[in-house]
Structures are given as C-alpha cells and as structure tokens.
Structure 1
Amino acid sequence: MIPLTVNPSQVRSMLLLREEIALLDLRHESAFATGHPLFAANMAAGRIALEAETRLPRKDVPIVLYDAGEGLVAQATDRLQALGYTDVRQLDGGLQAWQAAGYEVFQDVNSYAKAFGELVESRRHTPSLPAEEVADLIASKANIAVLDVRRFDEYATMNIPGSVSVPGAELVLRAGRAAPDPATTIIVNCAGRTRSIIGAQSLINAGVANRVVALRNGTIGWTLARQNLEHGANRRGEVGAFAGAEANARDVAYRAGVRRLRPEEATALTAQAHRTLYRFDVRSAEEYAAGHIAGFRHYAGGQLVQEIDMAAPVRGARILLTDDKGVRADMTASWLAQMGWEACVLDGGYDGALEVGPPQVLPKPDPAHRYRRPYEGTDVDAGAMQAYLDWEYGLVEQLRRDASHGFFVI
C-alpha cells in the first residue's frame, strides 16, 4: 500500500511541539549511521516483525517512514499495517528532502544522547584528566579509583588497568563501596566520551564528597596515548552508597522535573491509551531475572540514557522507571528529563507478586549490516578513533544549528 505522505516541515513541527512521533529510518544500521535527522530511530525494514511491537507499544502512534531512495517504504508500510499499526505515513522525498529543506543530519548511532553528553560537559564544565595524567597516577599508586561505566562485556573486552566495572546508573549506588575514603579521587571512564561525562556528572550532581573526574576520551584517548589496556578483567563494584546518596538522588530527579508515582497512580497512567508509555526496570539483568514488576522491560539505566533512541523510538512518549533501591531510577530519570522526556519514577511496587525470568532480548542484526562503532574491539584504526572524537567535539555546534532538541542541563 502507498502510505500517506508528510513533508519535512510537518515532521519538524511535530518534534518541536513534542507531539508523539516515531520517525523511523528503514535502512540497515550501517547506512543509518552515515546520516539521519536528530530524533530519527533506526528500524531496518527487514527487522520490523522482530522489533516493532516491543519498540512501538501503541498501535495508533503516528509513524513516519523514510529511506534514502532504496524503495523500502511501501513494503515496510505493509508490514506495519499487518501488525495492526494504523497511522503510518511516508516522509515525502525521504532523507534527500530533509536535507534539501536545510535540516541537519547527524552521523553515528545514539547521536542525540551523545550530543546531549557534549552539551552537559559544555554547560557544567565536567572535569576530566588526560590519559597520560591518569597513567601517571596509576603508576605512582595514587589514592584513586577508576570506575568503568560501560556494559560489563565491554569492560571485560578491554579496560583501564586496575579499573572496576560499575555500569552507568550503578555509580551513585556503588560509589561508597568503590571509594569509601572521601579523599580518593574517582576517575570515571567509558569507551569514548558520553558515558564518562554523564557518569562523572551524576556523582557530582548527587553530591559525592570525593573529587570526581572523567577520563578524557575514555579508552579511545587511552589507546591514542599509547597506554596499555587490560583484557579479561572481572572486577565488579559492590553495592554500597555514600552517605545521603538516596536523598540526594531524589533531589536531583526533583530538580530535573521528574515526577514520582505511587502504584495506583502508575496504574492510572498505564490506562491512558491515547499516549505511548515506556516502562523500564533499570536494575541489573540479574536483579530483574530474580523478580520484577509485571509489564516492565529491562534496560540498565546507564545504557538506557546512552541508547534511548533504540529503547524508546517514539519521541514525545512518556517513560516510567522502576528500581527497588530508588537511586538508579532517580538518576536515570533525571537525565532523561533533561533530554526532553516526560519521565516518572514508580515509588514502591515491589511488595506484591513479582514475575521471575530473564530480560527480553531482541535478536542482534546480521553483523554485515551493523555499524562498527569506532570504540568497539581492540583492532580499531587510530585515524578512525581520532575522527570519531573530532565528530563528538562538533556536536554542540551541530545542536545549535539544528535547533530542535529542547535539552536543558540542571
């Protein structure tokens, strides 16, 4: 079926007015990463049957499809309509029309989360140290703790020597155990820049007594400085929050405009069928599998901030987070709210019957169609890593030119 069309100006208006819209790029991820609108989400046409009902929970949500001339839209429309989606339209002229209208295209994946991270550093002047200085501190056995905020599998592949794995949203919950001495300098690292900036600023926002800095440019910067990486490490940070962490995290969420909902209020929110609601459990996968509230999908908090376009492709939707300890949901929600989401935290809900079972995991795409991130693996070309950093440095200016993001930084 030939879908109804909508022009680039109308799509941009919907985004600016924060109306619900799923702007879907139907190309493979490798092509999507070459350039797309800021709030476009990638859903390859061949993966619609696998992904749509998980990522697009409301069947009458406005969906706008586009490609770059590959002829993917008509077939994708048929697939979505066969699944029951009722408001499927085509971006008139596709990606070329978006560019012809003078609108920005952003490279890479998770682009708007990365751009937001750069904006945070620009506005808050998040402190950082270069790889050479951190290496000297490690060599001199200085009073430091290096906390790696990536997924554990990324950490195990390669990590800063002596570092401990404390994935993103776990930082505020575990910093008190990882660095019990307030005189310890906490150094937060990721692969590149975004997660280390957000992680370091999370600890600062939450009021940890320690000096906190990011490792500038993460493992990419470390590699470019010709420092050695460790492989196969298995050190995990244990739960142990610093004094006042829970109250401070709640205050951070409050300042960002996050609402707290009791279970009965969350039930009423869920019943509002005219709006898309994403519900995420931001704890670890192990905690989720041991017992979780029905209807909540697992997405670890730090990765949720980084991958929000993948987790929640409907821009303008609502997001409800849950966490039995509260701290992770509060900190995660605080960042999502600053990124323009209507974010809420469920207050309680763990007293009743819980579902048991592992998280739902969407099948990974064919490796031939994936975009190889310039921070993946151990064999990335130095020129590609430097080009990636140069791209990140330019994101704040690109946000300014695009002028559609609506981000704020507390």
Structure 2
Amino acid sequence: MTPPTVTPSQVRTALLLRDEIALLDLRHEAAFAAGHPLFAANMAAGRIALEAETRLPRKDLPIVIYDAGEGLVPQAIDQFKTLGYTNVRALEGGLQGWQAAGYELFQDVNSYAKAFGELVEHRRHTPSLAAEEVASLIARKANIRILDVRRFDEYATMNIPGSISVPGGELVLRAGEAAPDPETTIIVNCAGRTRSIIGTQSLINAGVANKVVALRNGTIGWTLAKQDLEHGSGRRGAIGASENAKANARDVAYRAGVRRVGPEEARALAAQTNRTLYRFDVRDAEEYAAGHLPGFRHYAGGQLVQEIDMAAPVRGARILLSDNLGVRADMTASWLAQMGWETYLLDGGYDGALEVGPPVVLPKPDPSHRYRRPYEGTDVSTAAMQAYLDWEYGLVDQLRRDASHGFFVI
C-alpha cells in the first residue's frame, strides 16, 4: 500500500508557521550528514524502536519521514504504527523531492545550531583571537584563563595547554571562580566554532567584568596552526557565580522572551496533551543523579544548545528547563528562545520529592554508521579540518538562501 504523503512545500509551510512537525531522515547518520533539510532530525530506520518514544513523546504529532531512494519509508511507517504513532506520512519525492523544489540541503550534524552560532557571531561581532595569538599569550604567561566548553570527555581527549574544563552551560555559573580577577582575560574554546561563539557571547551577554574572547576555530584552528595539545587533563572549574551574574543571567533570559513558570503552571503545561513538551534538567550529570524532578530528562545546557535537533526533533514544540541554581537554565533558555523555541523556565520545585538515579542515555549507533566529526579524536586529517571550517564560515549565506530559520539575536 502506498504510504500517505506530504509535499515539500507543505512541510516548509509548517516549519515557517512554527507548527509542530518532526521531519525525520531515516538514513544512517553518516548519510544524513552528507545533506538534509535545515530542520530535519536524524532517526535511522533501524533505531526507531530504540529512540522514538524518548525523542517523540506525543503519539499523534505530525511526523514526516524520508530517505534518498533506499526504500526505508514503508517499513518505518509500519514501525511507527506498531509503536502507536497515528500521524506519519512520507515526504513526497524524498530527499530528491526536497531538492527539486529548490530548497537548501545542509551538511554535517547539529547543522541549525551551528548555523545559528555563525549568525550570532555575524550579528554581534563576537570577539576572537587566532591560535597564534593565544599561544603567544600562553608563552608570555599573560593574565589569561582558557575555559574549554566541550563535554569533559572531549576535553580529556585533547585540550589547549593550561585550559580548564567548564562545559558551556556552566560558564556563567563557574567563570567567577575560574577567573576571579576582573583583569584576567577569559578565552573560551571548543573543538571548532559554535560552542566557543555561544560560550563567549554568553559571558558577554551576562555582563561579566572580564574581557572575553573566543579561541578562533577552537582545537581545529589550534591544530592547523601546528600548536601542541595536552592529553588526559582533568582540571575542572568550580562553582563561583556572583549574585550579580545570577541577576544578569535572569535578565538575559527575559530579554530573549523566555517565560518563567512555577510548579503548578508547569503541571498545566504538561497536561496540555495536544502539544509536545520537552522537559530537560540542564545541570551536570552528577547533580542530576543525586536528585532530579520526575519527568525531566538530563541534558547539560551547553550540549542541549548544540544538539537541540537530537534532543528535541519536534520543531514547534515547547521546552521547559529546570536547574536548582537557575543560572544554567537561564542562559540555556535564552539561546533556545533565540533559535525559535517556545521556551519556559521552572522556578522552584526542588523542595519536593526528587527521583534519584543516573541519566538515561540512548545507546550510540554502530560506529560504521556514525558520522565521524572532523573535530573528534587526534587523527583527523588537516584537509578535513579545513574543509569543516570553510563549511561553517559559509553557513550565514546558506541561512539567507534557505530563508526559513526564524532566528533572532539579542
């Protein structure tokens, strides 16, 4: 039986109107990374049973699936129906139909978060220093502090000499302790560009007293400049946010249009079953394991901004964030709101019954199906690194051609 279809134009209209829709690419991640619509999310056909109920919490939401001619759609529709999903259609013409309609294809993974980061730098002129300039500051023992905003496991694999691990969502909470002297220049780095841009601009938006700059092009730029990296480092930043930083973070969220709700209002949001609500606890994994609010999934703030297409594939859904200290949720929410999400912050709630236990983590795909990021590991070719940077630099123009993003930058 021929599956019901929806045209590329109808999907694009839904995305422009911010209607709820999950546009899912059924191919393996490596194929997905070769080209896909801006707001498509990858859910490989072989992982639907594993991922769907976590990533697509509402069974009657509009789901549109596609492949590139591999014949994955009919079986995927059957899988979704078996799981109880009632509104699943195929994209007419598949990926080729999208392209034939004149719409853009974006490469890589987490593409729209990366494109948003480039737009932030373009509009705010986020300051940065080249690897050679930072290396010179290190050699001169200048008054600097380098904060690495990647996940800790990425940091431990390789890091800029002397840097401290402060994952992105923790920056405003921990920068005061990492660089207590306001004369210290804070240098923010990630693997490539996005997380360092967002991290640097987070500290600037939150009004920290220090001068803040990004390490331009992160560890990729550092490697291309033939600078040495450390391996196996374990330095972590401690909590040290001032009351002023907390107030500023709250103001940043307000300026981005984030709405604050109490526990009763949060329950009312969850009760609206005609809308998808994602609930994320943006603290670190250890804090989450020690005690978290029922129904909230763990996703550290910095990674949530970077990986929002993986965490929340239903475009047009609502997002509710929790954090007992507030600062991390404020800053994370501010970025999600600027990316076009209807975003809420939960005030309070931690004085009641909490669940204890580690985060639930979806198993990683087979390595042979996974896209190898050009900023991973220590054996990536310099040509691949440079090609990745060239791609990122072109994202602002591609967003302009695509014209569907709806991002704004405060």
* Interval containing the TM-score (normalised by the shorter chain): over 0.9
Please state whether the residue corresponding to 2:278 is helix, strand or coil. Answer: strand
In the TM superposition, what whole-angstrom CA distance separates every residue of 1:331-364 from its partner, at most 9, and x where no partner exists? 0000000000000000000000100000000000
Query: How far is 1:250 from its partner?
Result: 0.4
| Contact 1:26-1:73 within 8 A present in 2 as well | yes
* TM-score where L is the length of structure 1: 1.00
Task: Report the counterpart of residue 57 of structure 2 in structure 1.
Answer: 57
Query: How far is 1:3 from its partner?
Result: 2.2
In the TM superposition, what whole-angstrom CA distance separates every residue of 1:251-300 from its partner, at most 9, and x where no partner exists? 00000000000000000000000000000000000000000000000000
| Contact 1:175-1:242 within 8 A present in 2 as well | no
Amino acid across the alignment from 2:265: E
Please state whether the residue corresponding to 1:106 is helix, strand or coil. Answer: coil
Counterpart-to-counterpart distance in 1, 2:21 and 2:330: 26
Task: Report the counterpart of residue 352 of structure 2 in structure 1.
Answer: 352
Counterpart-to-counterpart distance in 2, 1:364 and 1:221: 28
Correspondence list, 1:1-400, <5 A: 2-400=2-400
| Contact 1:188-1:200 within 8 A present in 2 as well | yes
Query: How far is 1:144 from its partner?
Result: 0.3
Please state whether the residue corresponding to 1:244 is helix, strand or coil. Answer: helix
Counterpart-to-counterpart distance in 1, 2:15 and 2:217: 31
Alpha-carbon RMSD: 0.5
Counterpart-to-counterpart distance in 1, 2:199 and 2:373: 20
Counterpart-to-counterpart distance in 1, 2:216 and 2:140: 19
Q: Which runs of 5+ in 2 are unaligned?
A: none
Please state whether the residue corresponding to 1:321 is helix, strand or coil. Answer: strand
Query: How far is 1:243 from its partner?
Result: 4.7
Q: Which runs of 5+ in 1 are unaligned?
A: none
Query: How far is 1:120 from its partner?
Result: 0.1
Q: 1:139 to 1:243 in 2, by over 3 A?
A: farther
4+ residue runs over 2 A deviation: none
Counterpart-to-counterpart distance in 2, 1:364 and 1:133: 38
Amino acid across the alignment from 2:357: G
Identity of aligned residues (%): 84
Counterpart-to-counterpart distance in 2, 1:238 and 1:115: 31
Counterpart-to-counterpart distance in 2, 1:4 and 1:243: 55
Query: How far is 1:2 from its partner?
Result: 3.6
Counterpart-to-counterpart distance in 2, 1:278 and 1:63: 16
Counterpart-to-counterpart distance in 1, 2:245 and 2:295: 28
Length, aligned pairs only: 410
Query: How far is 1:242 from its partner?
Result: 3.6
* TM-score where L is the length of structure 2: 1.00
